């Protein structure tokens, strides 16, 4: 029997084989279609209950199965799973279109929507109905048959292209390795990074050291290795993913994606893909995003140029380097930072043993939101590295299941993310609690050392855990409005605000303990972490803004005339450029956030959310970082509310006013 088609609560990973997915998804699509048909053929007059609510719960089985499948395709994939993904993606995109282009269904939804003012709905019910109606209208329900057909074709093609884009980036990442036999070549590289490179070499049956483009391998290499030629080799390899003349080239794919997105937006009556996307975001229009980016650019650029000049002079003084290149940035910045703050990432790592940091983030969640995490061993998992926890509140009520998967391995994509295997919702009086997961790529323990995190990895863990809290503390009636189902430019608030605790003495004392001696991190380091937090903040801001501006340029203008991706990109970067261009590198061909990961016309939201998070954290700072009253306001108005109301209303209810960029600029040392 197919385990995916049985009733299950937590995902039955150990029982699932790849051959179960296709028949299960096929069957679940069939079941979902039957649920939709039942709504359409209901002889009763359309009501909020028999149409809006029933539709929200339709396809529940399909959602559970596909969430398992696509989460594994990101965290534990292989050729077989990737092949299945290519086959089922068009099915799912076709099914989605079958719903949004179903005239009978839309007629019922529209009938309910047109009576919205007389229905006396709660704000959550109103939001559900409005979102449902818009999801039809925004996906072509008001189009003619012929145009609907065109839309279906565009969507099927886009789902294939974005998948292909991601597979090409993964292949390019996996295809490169730098094999070093002579340890002298690695002067400057910390022991822990050498040890990790030896382990990789061993796994590949090679002598010496192997470095890859996976971040835990790549970042230390370009930050510490003194051999400039080798740094250059690594940096160029990372920068040309998808931009080489081989079968993994993404140039045409990028052009096809942006042209199809533009065509799709026009078909639906929007000026551009960005106009289409932003209608449903906190920012509302591309013009507002561009204005927001330019305002920050104006404030950050002078600081960035000063910082860059300073770094150039420093590299020249130190090593006689006439022209600072991209592969020099991290290397000299790390040296300069060490000189200015006498702070070395390697000095900090012993205080951030992974297990202690996990314990720390749990303690902070307990102090703020009364949550308790208990590791349990009776929940099925997809890999032995995964840890599973039962989450409850101070009254021992069950809150969530939490999965955590921390280390890189073959078949797991780079980066860090939060995801969910089951949403929270209330049905027939039962509050179904969520199953939430975070996936990271932190340095593995070695033969002699536990997993020790860089400070950067500590903030990454807090960031993803902030998303997880948003999922775990969800308390809404409808699953489509639950947890992280909020405007894209609001979704980063819970994650980014939690990072702030990593810089506070009161929080660090809870978990930053030396893995050998148990000594709490010395306060001079904490001071330096805080001081150095705004180090090169001008350059960092410029970098983030440049990605957001590139994204907006791809998606807010007509792309039909673009011939060269490289030229287009250089033009987009003209106001934010500090380093000389590298001819063989291109950002767009591996910009997975916007061409694979759902951030198209949305990359600005990182900075947007930073404004929100700095403003929100200032509220805590004024009243104490563990202030229960403010934490409760945050939990009740932001974390538990999901997408049940407009985000600005939720934010104002928590904060008492609209956010201003001043707190961010102050924190970044830009004013």
Render pLDDT for 213-232 as a digit per residue (tens, 0 to 9). 999 999 999 999 999 999 99
Mean pLDDT of 320-337: 96
pLDDT at position 180: 98
- Last-in-domain residue among 142, 165, 186: 142
Examine the pLDDT at 671 and tell me if it is beyond 90: no
Give the pTM. 0.81
Examine the pLDDT at 662 and tell me if it is beyond 90: no
Residues 69 and 120 in one domain: yes
Over the stretch 552-572, which tens digit does the pLDDT of each residue have?
Answer: 999 999 999 999 999 999 999
Over the stretch 106-118, which tens digit does the pLDDT of each residue have?
Answer: 999 999 999 999 9
Mean pLDDT of the chain: 95
464 is catalytic: yes
Give backbone dihedrals phi and psi of 403, rounded to 5 degrees, phi first: -105, 145
pLDDT at position 597: 83
pLDDT at position 306: 96
Residues 37 and 117 in one domain: yes
342: confidence class by pLDDT, cuts 50, 70, 90: confident
Residues 97 and 189 in one domain: no
Q: Is residue 5, in this structure, part of any structural domain at all?
A: no
Residues 475 and 618 in one domain: yes
Pairing, β 435-439 against β 398-405 = parallel
pLDDT over 90, % of the chain: 89
Residues 138 and 184 in one domain: no
Q: Is residue 340, in this structure, part of any structural domain at all?
A: no
Residues 517 and 405 in one domain: yes
Structure token pair of residue 396 = 């021992």
Structure token pair of residue 179 = 């094999």
Residue pointed to by tokens 């949550």: 371
Over the stretch 290-317, which tens digit does the pLDDT of each residue have?
Answer: 999 998 999 999 999 999 999 999 999 9
97: confidence class by pLDDT, cuts 50, 70, 90: confident
Q: How far apart are CA 218 and CA 197, in angstroms?
A: 10
Over the stretch 39-88, which tens digit does the pLDDT of each residue have?
Answer: 999 999 999 999 999 999 999 999 999 999 999 999 999 999 999 999 99
Q: Is residue 249, in this structure, part of any structural domain at all?
A: no
Span of 6-20, 385-399, 488-502, 657-671 with lowest mean pLDDT: 657-671
pLDDT at position 389: 98
Mean pLDDT of 575-584: 97
Q: Is residue 394, in this structure, part of any structural domain at all?
A: yes
Q: How far apart are CA 610 and CA 201, in angstroms?
A: 39
Examine the pLDDT at 593 and tell me if it is beyond 90: yes
Give backbone dihedrals phi and psi of 244, rounded to 5 degrees, phi first: -120, 160
Q: Is residue 658, in this structure, part of any structural domain at all?
A: no
Structure token pair of residue 144 = 């003619």
pLDDT at position 254: 98
DSSP line for 534-601: TTTHHHHHHHHHHHHHHHHHHHHS-GGG---HHHHHHHHTTTT--SPP-TT--SGGG-HHHHTSS-TT
Mean pLDDT of 243-264: 98
Examine the pLDDT at 478 and tell me if it is beyond 90: yes
Q: Is residue 165, in this structure, part of any structural domain at all?
A: no
Q: Per the residue annotation, which of 76, 172, 457, 464 is the catalytic one?
A: 464
Mean pLDDT of 513-518: 96
Over the stretch 380-409, which tens digit does the pLDDT of each residue have?
Answer: 999 999 999 999 999 999 999 999 999 999
Residues 43 and 119 in one domain: yes
Residues 119 and 186 in one domain: no
CATH number at residue 129: 1.20.1050.40
Residues 72 and 126 in one domain: yes
Residues 212 and 138 in one domain: no
Q: How many domains does the chain have?
A: 3
Over the stretch 178-217, which tens digit does the pLDDT of each residue have?
Answer: 999 999 999 999 999 999 999 999 999 999 999 999 999 9
Domain that holds residue 81: 13-142
Mean pLDDT of 354-376: 98
- Helices 215-224 and 228-239 pack at an angle, to 10 degrees, of 140
Structure token pair of residue 10 = 């937590």
Q: Is residue 458, in this structure, part of any structural domain at all?
A: yes
- Last-in-domain residue among 187, 222, 239: 239
Residues 366 and 423 in one domain: yes
Q: How far apart are CA 545 and CA 577, in angstroms?
A: 11
Examine the pLDDT at 98 and tell me if it is beyond 90: no
pLDDT at position 387: 97
Span of 139-148, 538-547, 587-596 with lowest mean pLDDT: 139-148
Examine the pLDDT at 541 and tell me if it is beyond 90: yes
Mean pLDDT of 168-181: 96
Examine the pLDDT at 669 and tell me if it is beyond 90: no
- The answer to whether 140 and 151 are in contact (CB under 8 A) is yes
Residues 39 and 96 in one domain: yes
Examine the pLDDT at 344 and tell me if it is beyond 90: no
pLDDT at position 584: 96
Mean pLDDT of 412-420: 93
CATH number at residue 409: 1.10.1370.40
Q: How far apart are CA 185 and CA 207, in angstroms?
A: 15
Q: Is residue 613, in this structure, part of any structural domain at all?
A: yes
Nearest of 94, 106, 88, 112 to residue 36 by alpha carbon: 106
pLDDT at position 346: 86
Mean pLDDT of 491-520: 95
- How many angstroms from the chain centroid is the CA of residue 544? 14
């Amino acid at each position: 029997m197919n385990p995916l088609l049985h009733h299950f609560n937590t995902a039955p990973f150990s029982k699932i084989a790849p051959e179960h997915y296709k028949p299960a998804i096929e069957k679940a699509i069939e079941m979902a279609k039957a649920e939709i048909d039942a709504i359409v053929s209901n002889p009763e007059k359309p009501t909020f209950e028999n149409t809006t609510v029933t539709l929200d719960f339709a396809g529940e089985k399909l959602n559970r199965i596909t969430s398992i499948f696509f989460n594994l395709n990101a965290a534990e994939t292989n050729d077989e799973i990737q092949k299945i993904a290519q086959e089922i993606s068009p099915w799912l995109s076709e099914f989605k279109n079958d719903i949004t282009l179903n005239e009978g269904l839309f007629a019922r939804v529209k009938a309910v929507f047109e009576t919205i003012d007389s229905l006396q709905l709660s704000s959550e019910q109103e939001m559900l109905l409005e979102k449902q109606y818009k999801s039809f209208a925004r996906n072509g329900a008001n189009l003619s048959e012929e145009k609907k057909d065109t839309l279906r074709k565009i969507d099927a093609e886009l789902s294939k292209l974005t998948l292909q884009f991601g597979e090409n980036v993964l292949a390019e990442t996996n295809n490169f390795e730098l094999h070093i036999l002579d340890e002298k070549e690695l002067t400057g590289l910390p022991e822990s990074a050498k040890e990790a490179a030896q382990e990789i070499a061993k796994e590949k049956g090679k002598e010496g050291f192997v470095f890859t483009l996976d971040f835990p391998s790549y970042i230390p290499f370009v930050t510490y290795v003194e051999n400039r030629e080798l740094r250059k080799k690594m940096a160029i390899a990372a920068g040309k993913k998808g931009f080489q003349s081989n079968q993994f080239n993404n140039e045409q794919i990028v052009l096809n994606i942006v042209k199809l997105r533009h065509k799709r937006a026009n078909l639906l009556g929007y000026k551009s893909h960005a106009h289409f996307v932003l209608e449903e975001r906190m920012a509302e229009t591309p013009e507002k995003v561009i204005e927001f980016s330019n305002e920050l650019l104006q404030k950050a650029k002078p600081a960035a140029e000063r910082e860059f000049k300073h770094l150039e002079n420093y590299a020249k003084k130190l090593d006689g380097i006439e022209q600072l290149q991209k592969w020099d940035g991290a290397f000299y910045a790390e040296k300069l930072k060490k000189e200015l703050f006498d702070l070395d990432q390697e000095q900090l790592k012993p205080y951030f043993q992974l297990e202690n940091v996990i314990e720390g983030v749990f303690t902070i969640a307990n102090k703020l939101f009364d949550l308790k995490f208990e590791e349990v061993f009776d929940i099925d998992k997809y890999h032995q590295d995964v840890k599973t926890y039962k989450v409850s509140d101070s009254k021992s009520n069950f809150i969530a299941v939490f999965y955590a998967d921390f280390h890189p391995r073959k078949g797991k994509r780079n980066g860090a993310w939060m995801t969910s295997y089951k949403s929270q919702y209330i049905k027939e009086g039962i509050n179904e609690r969520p199953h939430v997961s975070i996936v990271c790529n932190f340095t593995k323990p070695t033969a002699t050392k536990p997993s020790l995190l860089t400070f950067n990895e500590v903030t990454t863990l807090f960031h993803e855990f902030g998303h997880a809290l948003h999922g775990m503390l969800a308390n809404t009636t409808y699953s489509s409005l639950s947890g992280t189902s909020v405007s894209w430019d609001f979704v980063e608030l819970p994650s980014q605000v939690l990072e702030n605790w990593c810089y506070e003495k009161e929080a660090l004392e809870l978990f930053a303990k030396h893995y050998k001696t148990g000594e709490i991190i010395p306060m001079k380091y904490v001071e330096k972490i805080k001081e150095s937090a705004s180090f090169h903040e001008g350059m960092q801001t410029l970098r983030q803004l440049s990605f957001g501006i590139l994204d907006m340029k791809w998606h807010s203008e007509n792309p039909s005339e673009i011939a060269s991706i490289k030229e287009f990109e250089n033009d987009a970067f003209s106001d934010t450029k500090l380093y000389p261009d590298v001819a063989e590198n291109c950002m767009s061909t591996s910009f997975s956030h916007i061409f694979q990961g759902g951030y198209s016309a949305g990359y600005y939201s990182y900075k947007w959310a930073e404004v929100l998070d700095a403003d929100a954290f200032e509220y805590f700072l004024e009243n104490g970082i563990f202030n229960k009253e403010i934490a409760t306001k945050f939990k009740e108005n932001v974390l538990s509310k999901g997408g049940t109301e407009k985000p600005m209303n939720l934010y104002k209810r928590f904060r008492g006013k609209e956010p201003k960029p001043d707190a961010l600029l102050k924190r970044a040392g830009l004013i």
